[in-house]
Amino acid sequence: MNYHLSPKIKRNISRILPFGFIWLIIGCVFLFYDYSLTGYQNLNPETDITLTIPVFIFALSAIFIVGLIIGTMEMVVFEKRFKGYSLLAKISSKLIIYLGLLLVIILITYSVAESIQSGLNPVHPEVRSKLTRFLGSLTFLNTILQLAFQLFLSLIYAAISENLGHNVLKNFFTGRYHTPKNERRIFMFLDMKRSTSIAEKLGHVAYFDFLQKYYDALSDSIINHSGEVYQYVGDEIVITWEYEKGIRNDNWLNCFIDLKRTIISKASDFEHRYHQIPDFRAGIHVGEVTTGEIGALKKEIVFTGDVLNTAARLQAMGKKFETDLVFSEDLNHLIGDKQAFSTKHLGEILLRGKSDKTGVFTLNSPS
């Protein structure tokens, strides 16, 4: 029986794993540093655990798992709980929560490690007695400080990942785009309707909150169809797919449909809170782009190529054709499930700045 992980689960796994490796690497550094200072001898057997091979393997496994737990809480549990907090307030609040959690983890892992070393049950009186002595020792204080440092680095990494975006951060670390690369991608330009009118009615502060809720509402649909947000430009979202991910299961087209369904499902919430319901038009195109890091005072990973201009202009044509979706002939040919989607040829148009006409299409019921 074949099991396929959803794009959202795959994304969460790729975001959580770095935390495990951060904890593992730093934990190893601390572990070897501490034991090198003592000549790899246990100088305090009354409180400290001797680093045998089984204990060492357990310690590394425990450190990695703790990192994954922290990563899960950061990327899944706390992902939207601390929005609006300053970086300092966010890190301080989380440190308090995590230090309580880490204290519980220390009590459990110390008892298990001592059990491995001594062969006694983790709840044996001798194990509990040694644990009590450990909690009053300098080794315990040193352990707390080391874990707090690892935790602090994890929270810094989480904050940077949240602001830059996981894929952008991953590409910076791996150096994927240090040298510009040509690649084939799909781009969707998604522009909110009536944005100027809504902004005037709500005012700047309420409109900013409205935009944030709008972006939040659409995020799951983008993730579930393997898309990436390239840019937020005012009320416009630029979504992109690597070519293979975009055409797989017609992700680019199903994403648009799911985005529309999401807005419909949340219409009453927006109406109740803002007395305004957002809607959008989209233009989608596929083609070659050059991708690389660019910038002098600040580095960004950018895409350059005619495909972006074409997608933006297709989006603008939606109003003329009185449709919420316009996509190119190139994409129409790439639809895998022809029976599921009924497309409509809108004609051949000459886009501004183009010398050749472009065939454009929509769905028969794009709204």
Give me the domains of the chain, ranges plus CATH numbers: 7-164 (no CATH), 167-363 (3.30.70.1230)
What's residue 242's pLDDT? 92
Cα–Cα distance, 176 to 347 (Å, whole number): 39
Higher pLDDT among residues 208 and 358, named by residue = 208
User: What is the per-residue burial (b if ≥16 Cβ within 10 Å, else e) of 221-253?
Assistant: bbbbbbbbbbeeeebebbbbbebebbbeebbbb
pLDDT over threshold 80, residue 139: yes
What's residue 31's pLDDT? 85
Average pLDDT (262-288) is 94
Greatest extent of the chain over all pairs of C-alpha atoms, in Å: 85
Cα–Cα distance, 170 to 282 (Å, whole number): 28
Q: How far is CA 57 from CA 40, 105, 242, 312, in A?
A: 16, 17, 39, 54
Average pLDDT (29-47) is 81
Higher pLDDT among residues 86 and 182, named by residue = 182
What's residue 366's pLDDT? 52
Asked if 140 and 147 touch (Cβ cutoff 8 Å), the reply is no
Cα–Cα distance, 135 to 107 (Å, whole number): 9
pLDDT tens digits along 219-242: 999 999 999 999 898 889 999 999
Average pLDDT (336-343) is 86
pLDDT over threshold 60, residue 13: yes
pLDDT over threshold 50, residue 1: no
Asked if 314 and 346 touch (Cβ cutoff 8 Å), the reply is no
Angle at which helices 204-224 and 267-274 cross, to 10°: 170
pLDDT over threshold 90, residue 337: no
pLDDT-above-90 percentage for the chain: 46
Cα–Cα distance, 71 to 64 (Å, whole number): 10
Cα–Cα distance, 328 to 334 (Å, whole number): 10
Q: To the nearest whole number, what is the mean pLDDT of the chain?
A: 86
What's residue 259's pLDDT? 96
Average pLDDT (270-276) is 94
Looking up tokens 């999401």 gives 262
pLDDT over threshold 70, residue 188: yes
Average pLDDT (86-93) is 74
pLDDT over threshold 90, residue 361: yes
What's residue 76's pLDDT? 80
Q: How far is CA 175 from CA 164, 167, 245, in A?
A: 15, 12, 21
Which of the 8 DSSP states describes residue 176?
A: T
Give 325's pLDDT tier (boundaries 50, 70, 90): very high
Q: What sign does the CA torsion over 47, 51, 56, 60 have?
A: positive
Q: What are phi and psi of 187, to 5 degrees?
A: -125, 135
Higher pLDDT among residues 257 and 171, named by residue = 257
Cα–Cα distance, 313 to 353 (Å, whole number): 10
